[in-house]
Amino acid sequence: MTTSSDPRFLVLHALRVKGLASDELVAAISGLPAGDAAARLSELVEEKLVLRREGRMAGSMLTPAGKEAYAELLAADVADPARKAALDTAYEAFLPVNGEFKRLCTDWQVRSDTGEPNDHTDRAYDDGVVARLGEVHDRITVVLKDLATALGRFDAYIRRLENALERIRGGDVAAFARPLADSYHDIWMELHQDLLLSLQKERDAKDEG
């Protein structure tokens, strides 16, 4: 069984996951080389499946026709029963780790010992949270490696989460949970949305951790 997905689908899928995305982010989510992702985007714009926006909120997004084309390609991408089984297994394994990650994000932003906002001046406290993040990272990496054997597109999340963790360990406070910073939290939310889309599931109480 092949683990790779159609590059055309990968670009549409990246936009469906993110909603509005830069070329760089499309390449990151899709796992495609930047030049290949940009070329596919240009083709999809010509076909009126993707709309480019300029200005303060610049980026690419799916058109209504693009959403229809995406739905057909998604169905084909996950049609193999082995892929569906791998997604089901990964999703069930993801949920408890997701709950722990959400608690970590809270502890990163609000100190668990004092209830005060974390100003990140206490290195020992932050190091403790980052150490726990390392444990969560190890757990989700196992889940993603297993899933990537069936659906190779999930391998991109392993690389991106590892890079974000390295930034955090290097002292980049924004790399933990700052929105729109390619933070660990940003990538985690994309992964969660990807799993839901791939399984064609609606978010419910289990997804809230």
Domain ranges of the chain: 7-77, 81-208
CA quadruple 146, 150, 154, 156: dihedral sign: positive
Write out pLDDT tens, residues 44-79: 999 999 999 998 889 999 999 999 999 999 999 999
Architecture of the domain whose range is 7-77: Orthogonal Bundle (1.10)
Write out pLDDT tens, residues 103-153: 999 999 999 999 999 999 999 999 999 999 999 999 999 999 999 999 999
Tally DSSP H helices, then E strands, for the chain: 9, 2
| Cβ-Cβ contacts under 8 Å for 42 (sequence gap 6 or more) | none
Alpha-carbon distance of 95 to 201, in angstroms, equals 13
